[in-house]
Chains A and B, each alone.
Chain A
Amino acid sequence: MAQGTPESDRSLTLTRRQFVGAVTTTAGLATTGGSASATEDGVPVSLTVNGKHHAVVVDARTSLLDLLREDLQLTGTHKGCDQGACGACTVLLDGRRINSCLTLAVMHDGAELTTIEGLAEGGELHPLQRAFIDTDAFQCGYCTAGQIMSGVGCIREGHCGSGTEIREWMSGNICRCGAYQNIVAAVQQAAKES
């Protein structure tokens, strides 16, 4: 699902040993800024999350999800399976939905991310957030951030022609409480508004 940016393509050429070591052999990991380089503490990554710029040094093994949750303290994005199978960690990466557990933070130097914390604008909820409350599109709330971010992606992609189409394109996001029909109703409602 992740789009291949030039940066991520380059980082993918690193060997596993280089990732795990992440010490001195990461010279091949050019950053868009061109100034930072890998150190013993990790790899410098700069990205914009919800409009805010972050320059951090991360362990090369860190997933984008763990960067958000453990390093940037943006805990609204949740870890459900850590294997790309449940969708709880869905965020928007350069405008597209992605499972943040299934990609490494160092692959996304220079990227722009939107997480659930950044969806509301100027204190105004996104129409899909409002719709989720209206239609009771959750119970426990744990998959909700991923469902909403995925729903925003689904609407932007134009996959909201029918309930069946929404169900198909939202099937990467599991809701174990079984709020599916209410989630579909929320996506439909928000799609009409957008």
Chain B
Amino acid sequence: MTDMATGTPLSRVDGLLKVTGGADYAADHNPPGLLHAVLVTSTVSRATITGIDTAKARALPGVADVITDFGGVKLPFPAGEISFFGQPVAIALAGTLQQAQHAASVVAVRVTEKPAVTSMDDRQAIAVPSEEVADYARGDADAALKAGPIVLDNSFTVARENHNPMELPATVAQWSGDELTVWDKTQWVQGTGKHIAAALDVPESSVRVICPFIGGAFGSAGRTWPHQVLAAYAARRVKRPVKLVLTRKQMYSGVGYRPESRQRLALAAGADGRITGIVHELKTETARYEAYSEDAAELPKMLYTSPNVRSTYRLVPVDVSAGTFMRGPGFVTGAFALESTLDELAERVDIDPVELRLRNVADRNQITGTPFTQERFADCLRRGAEAFGWARRRPPKARREGNLLIGMGMASAAHPNYMSAASAVARINADGTAVVASATADMGPGTATAMSQLAADGLGLPVAKVRAMLGDSTLPTAPMHAGSATLASIGSAVHTASVAVRDAVVRMAVLDPASPLYQADPATVTVHNGVMSAPGHGSERYGDVLRRHGKDSIDSTQTWKPGDGKKASSYEFGAVFAEVSVDIRLGLVRIRRMRGVYDIGRVVNPKLAHSQAIGGLVGGIGMALLESTARDHRDGRIVNANMADYLVPVHADVPDLEAEFLDGADTASTPIGVKGAAELVIIGVPAAIANAVYNATGVRVRDLPITLDKLL
């Protein structure tokens, strides 16, 4: 079929809702009888609560309750204790938001403070092994470092970052008898339902979670946080629907962050630029009450051929809130150290940075030893260099325009193509329309649009006739909308279910003496615009055969499972190129242009994939140049917990960016040939920018973000 929906730059199916204010986000729900809930949070990092005075708050007009006793709720931190600055300690409930805010502001929490350590660099902060990321070694990396001849051995730091999606975390909880309905901001409706059910000790089946739209999340709405549980708990206590929206300030300690990290990356190489050894020692901060590790060790072990590698990952538990995955978790952090080091190596051995990487590109996963399902890493590097005009790059500090130093840098990107078992239902209606549904989510990439396109092709229907549904825990089982896994997983399930229901109708037709397709070979039947036809036979619509059988619709629910990955390693690759200017008087770095070239398998929607890719570049610009969660370690307070002082890229920071995708489907990974993109597109960005800053100025910055003080 030439008119496939897959591969076309279709505009978003929910675009009209988003431009008219019709898309309903969690906080937009106002059920009758609603109470507004506002959290009271701790203002110390470690303490025992000795009392909470609510009398003043309770006396205010409109206040329904002030809950200070979270007994009977399972929360990740110990009851009666304060484990971090910003921990929820009470909930004020009132008829209006203003009343609830005022009530929360006058709740007095009495505590006995204990000594707290909130900095991972504090002498009292002790590093412990990660239970999730084991130490790793192949060959003898330390011997390789001794042997040289080229050795680079440097430390890298990355500041803590907060996701800062535009949408505030919000939960509206409504009980009807023992049944709970939650309109929530979550990347995983079913996971949140399970979590709330377990935390409140009610059956999973009694909790329904609904989230058709997410106003961005980047990982922050993946796991279920205390405020989501507390909203449901409060609603049960007061027997009224409750809306709880975190403030922007509360987000900084309430929904995780990319942990601050310290890395030592030492690399040995020959004069020909071939890597002979890598030592990677990594530490990240974590909460004392809950360990969070991330995959920052993966790329230095996996990406390049090096016979000798040693890698260790340590966690540093301190009195802070829990971290969580943020776009490109771990990979972007590890890539910053690795790709900065390769840039240094290129200069030391006087080999072009692109050529240096080509010399070290691995044809198989260096950890597992298995070949890649599709290996176009080198193609990304070559294509990127050509399209960007990399050949015009000059030696460091060689390009100047007035007060601006101009430089170019590049970096590699790679990320595993994570996939999970996923289910979807596809339904063909007799009126010629169809519905596909799964309990997945769409925080922005365009899940619903891609589902519609894949379903349209699987069903043989125009995409306008297909409606995609998601974001409801009662729909077929879906994994968390995270880890770049959604399209590969859900898309494969949608494809499988769509083909299954198409085949079911085709079978009905070929077995039906009243059908023009009677006794046709089902394998020869094609469906186009909802019309089934076969060579030597007539044709008829889906609806014709369904109506003869007295059916309004027919559906099929299918579960797709990924392979075990033992024979081949499924990975996404990319290369990122950046050109920056640095004002020599101010140390101010500006992005002049960037290009990412990616291998993500088949691109279902080039328009939306491009948006996702430039979004990753923008996120990477923030990480490289702006973002840092600043804390006062005297009390653990986050001092820039607002969008005026925590800087993210704005319009004026971002020029037109370029992203392109190599042609081709990776059908060894998924039946639809799709691999993930969301993480990949941020991974090489900070390193590419740091390398461009070096090329411009001759100053190597190994601490993110690259603020002007580091260049003056």
B648 touches A176 (CB 8 A): yes
Query: CB of A115 within 8 A of chain B?
Result: yes
Q: Which of A120, A140, A171 contacts B214 (CB 8 A)?
A: A140
**Chain A residues within an 8 Å CB radius of B98:** 59, 61-62, 66
**Chain B residues within an 8 Å CB radius of A113:** none
Q: Which of A59, A129, A139, A163 contacts B99 (CB 8 A)?
A: A59
**Cα distance A88–B616 when bound, in Å?**
21
Assuming the A-B contacts A178-B614, A178-B618, A180-B654, are A144 and B165 also in contact, with contact meaning beta carbons closer than 8 angstroms in the complex?
Answer: no
**Chain B residues within an 8 Å CB radius of A117:** 20-21
Assuming the A-B contacts A66-B97, A70-B97, A170-B651, are A176 and B19 also in contact, with contact meaning beta carbons closer than 8 angstroms in the complex?
Answer: no
**Chain B residues within an 8 Å CB radius of A176:** 164-166, 216, 218, 648
Main secondary structure of the interface of A (DSSP, over half): loop
Query: CB of B562 within 8 A of chain A?
Result: no
- B: which residues have CB within 8 A of A? 11-12, 14-25, 27-28, 30, 36, 96-99, 101-102, 164-168, 213-218, 245, 247-248, 443-446, 607-608, 610-612, 614-619, 642-644, 648-652, 654-657
Assuming the A-B contacts A142-B166, A166-B651, are A132 and B619 also in contact, with contact meaning beta carbons closer than 8 angstroms in the complex?
Answer: no
**Cα distance A77–B27 when bound, in Å?**
11
Central interface residue in B14, B25, B216, by most chain A CB within 10 Å:
B216
B22 touches A180 (CB 8 A): no
Ranked 7 nearest A-B pairs via Cβ:
A76-B21, A178-B618, A142-B215, A139-B444, A141-B18, A178-B615, A140-B444
**Chain B residues within an 8 Å CB radius of A142:** 25, 165-167, 215-216
**Chain A residues within an 8 Å CB radius of B245:** 79
**Cα distance A134–B445 when bound, in Å?**
16
Q: Which residue of A lies closest to B165 (CB)?
A: A176
Q: Which residue of A lies closest to B15 (CB)?
A: A133
Of the A-B pairs whose beta carbons lie under 8 Å apart in the complex, a sample of 22, sorted by A's number, is A66-B98, A79-B168, A80-B167, A86-B643, A115-B21, A117-B21, A120-B20, A130-B19, A133-B11, A136-B607, A138-B444, A139-B216, A139-B612, A140-B444, A142-B165, A142-B167, A143-B166, A172-B650, A175-B651, A178-B618, A178-B619, A181-B655
Central interface residue in A77, A174, A181, by most chain B CB within 10 Å:
A181
**Cα distance A59–B102 when bound, in Å?**
12
A141 touches B20 (CB 8 A): no
Q: Which of A78, A82, A180 contacts B166 (CB 8 A)?
A: A78
* Contacts A177-B444, A184-B651 supplied; 19 other A-B pairs, CB < 8 Å: A66-B97, A70-B96, A76-B21, A119-B20, A129-B19, A133-B16, A138-B444, A139-B445, A140-B213, A140-B215, A142-B215, A142-B216, A167-B654, A171-B652, A176-B164, A177-B611, A178-B617, A182-B611, A182-B614
**Chain B residues within an 8 Å CB radius of A75:** 21, 24-25, 27-28, 30
Q: Which residue of B lies closest to A118 (CB)?
A: B21
Instruction: Determine how close the nearest CB of chain B comes to the CB of A148; give it in whole angstroms.
Output: 6
Instruction: Determine how close the nearest CB of chain A comes to the CB of B376; give it in whole angstroms.
Output: 25
**Chain A residues within an 8 Å CB radius of B652:** 167-168, 171
**Cα distance A59–B98 when bound, in Å?**
7
Assuming the A-B contacts A142-B215, A182-B611, are A132 and B19 also in contact, with contact meaning beta carbons closer than 8 angstroms in the complex?
Answer: yes
Interface string of A102-144 (1 = CB under 8 A from B): 0000000000000111011000010001101110101111111
B12 touches A76 (CB 8 A): no
Query: CB of A93 within 8 A of chain B?
Result: no
Instruction: Determine how close the nearest CB of chain B comes to the CB of A156; give it in whole angstroms.
Output: 18
Instruction: Determine how close the nearest CB of chain A comes to the CB of B347; give it in whole angstroms.
Output: 31
Q: Which of A57-71 contact B (CB under 8 A)?
A: 59, 61-62, 66, 69-70
Query: CB of A145 within 8 A of chain B?
Result: yes
**Cα distance A134–B611 when bound, in Å?**
12
Instruction: Determine how close the nearest CB of chain A comes to the CB of B326; give it in whole angstroms.
Output: 12
**Cα distance A129–B463 when bound, in Å?**
22
A85 touches B642 (CB 8 A): yes
**Cα distance A171–B102 when bound, in Å?**
32
Q: Which of A172-192 contact B (CB under 8 A)?
A: 172-184
Instruction: Determine how close the nearest CB of chain A comes to the CB of B92; give it in whole angstroms.
Output: 14
**Chain B residues within an 8 Å CB radius of A32:** none
Instruction: Determine how close the nearest CB of chain B comes to the CB of A71; give it in whole angstroms.
Output: 9
Q: Which residue of B lies closest to A184 (CB)?
A: B651
**Chain A residues within an 8 Å CB radius of B102:** 20, 61
**Chain A residues within an 8 Å CB radius of B443:** 139-140
Instruction: Determine how close the nearest CB of chain B comes to the CB of A77; give it in whole angstroms.
Output: 7
A181 touches B21 (CB 8 A): no
Query: CB of A73 within 8 A of chain B?
Result: yes
**Cα distance A20–B60 when bound, in Å?**
11
**Chain A residues within an 8 Å CB radius of B643:** 80-81, 83, 85-86, 174
